[in-house]
Structure 1
């Protein structure tokens, strides 16, 4: 009997582990309404996001419950929903340019939804004033027109990604968007810089896989503007 117990217990543990991991793939704490039936597991994170968008579009449904479920279980979808909802408020401060929303760090998935609903549109508005960067400088979104020239480029930092090759600062749009501008420090690792901070760097602009970039070698030469 002792031999049998030693063999069964690990197997039972493995089964419980598989069940536990499987249960984590869905928003298990959410109580679905009638639209989802009586499934005890609950809707998936993508279903919760779709329901939230639908509720917002039709001005119906328990949007607060779906948002709370995503906040507790689906951080990625929760960010997308928050970005989407925060830009569906019709007031004088609403940003109508999808490109500008992306530049401010709004999730691309949320911008796509906003574009579908007509809350924003892609393309540069002729009436939109060009942003003024500290001490002048070329905007990150203008760099494609200056490939091969040495420029001082400025823009909002979206992320700083460290790899075994060094640090990559993604400006204007985040990786993996091809619209981003990247400042590369080869074999150098920088002190943390908060996302949204305006940074400026100088160097020759070159194109790599459709992304404009410059290389810098001195961290002290990177301008950080609060």
Structure 2
């Protein structure tokens, strides 16, 4: 079968084979007396979430409704903001509004620029583009805010000044994103580029899309993190006063 015309469907039995490395990692957790149940829960949750989202996206793509898409984006922001603060559970409720605002602004403005300025989506909410791109934007904003939240809290416990703690936190949060910029094309071919090449799109066009994605991820992560670190300063000032 030619990959130019279609992408091979993965059977359930073949999919099961892909879980073997994950099961080996669980075995390592068990043999080394580590918290294996946390990983088991994460894997089960991943499987159930992706199975459900497959059905949900089929409905969303068929609906072609702007209100539905806006609701999906809102849910993404609510969930990503809550998950981002799992690294600082004792301040989660106090900091949630700042994480939410930072992700909405940093991620949302980047999403708006990409979908309406770069891609010129028609209609503006085109689900096949909007939903997966929003997922990449808000997920990476979430990860960076989460790293920044943990590092900021840790640095302030070590009695650094807020400016020093903020700078350390921002640099730490951006390490994974910056590393991905160095690695793309040399160490890895990212998901979007790989998927497009497999579906038969020219590698030159796929490269342009990947450049867009990498710039989008770097921008949304950096903006969301910087906004979060700026918003939370008064809360930490009260907390450590």
Of Structure 1 and Structure 2, the greater strand share is in 1
TM-based fold match above 0.5: no
Of Structure 1 and Structure 2, the greater helix share is in 2
Structure whose CA Rg is larger? 1
For normalisation by structure 2, the TM-score amounts to 0.22
For normalisation by structure 1, the TM-score amounts to 0.23
